[in-house]
Structure 1
Amino acid sequence: MQRRRVRRRSHWKWLIPVLVLLFLVGLFFASYQYVQYINKDERVKEAEIVKRANEAVKLASVTEVEKGVWDQVVYTVRGTDEQGQEHMIWVLPDKVNLMTSAEVTSKETIEGRIEAQYPDADVIRIT
């Protein structure tokens, strides 16, 4: 008489894809946490800069915070106040300079002037 073999199903087939998926999710989570940890100091600095800018002018909303490094570190804060007027605030280590939107030229205007004056030039960055 011939023995009948019972074929056992392998329950281990699903283990490797699940482990790979868990590893990828863990790697993504670890990378996200690392980036958040690295940027934490900059976010704290920017919050302090916005607070100093709000002391000069009470801003209803902040549009942009841009960092510039020259002889010293200078932050530029753009925002609008309660009346809807745009302001540009230069936050230096020792003082705060304020400009209204009438005194400021936009990046698009400057880029248009450069392209009109130098049509062959490639504008890489305007600060």
Structure 2
Amino acid sequence: MLRIRTRRNVWKNKKKWIFLAIAVFLLILFGLYRYYIYVTQDIRAEETTAILKAKQESGLVKVTESYKSVWDSVCWVIEGLDKENRPVMVWVRMEGGGKVKAGEGAVHQELLADGMSETQIKQKIQQEMPDADKMKLTPGMYNGEYVWQLFYRSKDHYYYQFYRFRDGKSIGGPFTLPNR
């Protein structure tokens, strides 16, 4: 029996291929999403551990931001509000395996009013280094001190510079990253 191709049959066949292509695309998207979740699960678990420890050991009530700092050691800095609704920063030192470091000084809290805010430190940096470009500023630790860590570009080189959280004084650096 000879089959005659009609417009209806051709359109029906195209619909099947379109549906199949969409299903494959959605399946690939779902696979990429699951892969992302799998790859980032350790860092999310470590962040959650640090936030819980910060809430237990300090007056932190609400978390607004969290930062991971890796220089001499791993440290999570949790920014948020305390019981009296004041902005605070909490540093949580970590050790291997995503566990909070044991002992004295593992968790440290400071009111943002007692130190330099991100805006204040950025203004200071722009006054000191007007040619600095592509700046990224994050809180962290450097040689046991609580700092703002600046990553920036100047004249085709990339640098790290540290500023003490309490007074904004430059400490350590600038550290130059090698060119390619």
Instruction: State TM-score, norm by structure 2.
Output: 0.62
Counterparts of 1:21 and 1:28, CA distance in 2: 11
Contact 1:59 1:82 in 2 (8 A): yes
1:4-19 superposed matches below 5 A: 8=6, 9-10=8-9, 11-19=12-20
1:12-91 superposed matches below 5 A: 12-91=13-92
Q: 1:12 to 1:53 in 2, by over 3 A?
A: same
Contact 2:55 2:61 in 1 (8 A): no
Contact 2:66 2:78 in 1 (8 A): yes
Contact 1:111 1:123 in 2 (8 A): no
Counterparts of 2:5 and 2:86, CA distance in 1: 78
Q: 1:15 to 1:112 in 2, by over 3 A?
A: same
Counterparts of 1:39 and 1:104, CA distance in 2: 32
Counterparts of 2:5 and 2:131, CA distance in 1: 75
Counterparts of 1:87 and 1:21, CA distance in 2: 48
Amino acid at match of 2:51: V
Counterparts of 1:115 and 1:18, CA distance in 2: 55
Q: What is the deviation of 1:7?
A: 6.0
Instruction: State TM-score, norm by structure 1.
Output: 0.86
Amino acid at match of 2:132: A
1:98-109 superposed matches below 5 A: 98-109=109-120
Counterparts of 1:46 and 1:7, CA distance in 2: 61
2:119 matches 1:111: no
Amino acid at match of 1:67: K
Q: What is the deviation of 1:113?
A: 1.1
- Aligned counterpart in structure 2 of residue 124 of structure 1, from 129, 132, 135: 135
Runs ≥4 in structure 1, deviation > 3 angstroms? 5-9
Say how many residue pairs are matched: 123
Counterparts of 2:53 and 2:5, CA distance in 1: 74
Alignment RMSD:
1.9
Amino acid at match of 1:23: V
Q: 1:44 to 1:7 in 2, by over 3 A?
A: closer
Amino acid at match of 2:59: K
Q: Deviations over 1:67-97 (max 9, x none)?
A: 0111210110111022101111111124111
Structure 2: gaps of 5 or more residues? 94-100, 139-180
Higher gyration radius (CA):
1
Q: Deviations over 1:28-62 (max 9, x none)?
A: 11111111111111111111101111122232210
Higher strand share: 2
SS in 2 for 1:28: helix
Identity of paired residues, percent? 30
